[in-house]
Amino acid sequence: DIQMTQSPSSLSASVGDRVTITCQASQDIGKYLNWYQQKPGKAPKLLIYGADYLEKGVPSRVSGSGSATDFTFTISSLQPEDVATYYCQQYHTLRTFGQGTKVHIK
């Protein structure tokens, strides 16, 4: 099975800060990676597909990058509505989610 390791598990940042989350795959997955946002009590929402493609309607302050085993998710200027948990998910072989990164406002 492919394991996905996210870091950090949680972070606290101020409004306007740049926030970066990393996701590491246990083997080369090319660019077969998606990112989701989940707010409390809600279903996840797709933000990024194919490692770096922004889903329609998602603010341009959100971006993704990376390939092979190392991936990054970035919010360029954190907003209050970005408080959520973020998950990476590989689709190279079956499907696996990372353990999540909880983002708070400082």
Partner 1 sequence: QVQLVQSGAEVKPPGASVKVSCKASEYIFTDYYVHWVRQAPGQGLEWMGWIDPTNGAPEYAQKFQGAVTMTMDTSISTAYLELTRLKSDDTAVYYCAREDPRFSMDVWGQGSTVIVSS
Judged by the rule CB under 8 A, the positions of this chain that interact with partner 1 are 1, 32, 34, 36, 38, 43-46, 49-50, 53, 55, 85, 87, 89, 91, 94-100
C-alpha distances out from residue 86 to 9, 23, 25, 31, 83, Å: 10, 11, 16, 18, 9
Which is nearest to 86 in space by CA: 12, 9, 15, 25? Answer: 9
Min CB(62)–partner 1 separation in Å: 15
Among residues 17 and 24, whose Cβ is nearest to partner 1? 24
Min CB(9)–partner 1 separation in Å: 10
Min CB(14)–partner 1 separation in Å: 25
| Distant-in-sequence, close-in-space partners of 57: CB < 8 Å, separation ≥ 6 | none
Instruction: For residue 30, give both structure tokens.
Output: 């090319």
Among residues 26 and 77, whose Cβ is nearest to partner 1? 26
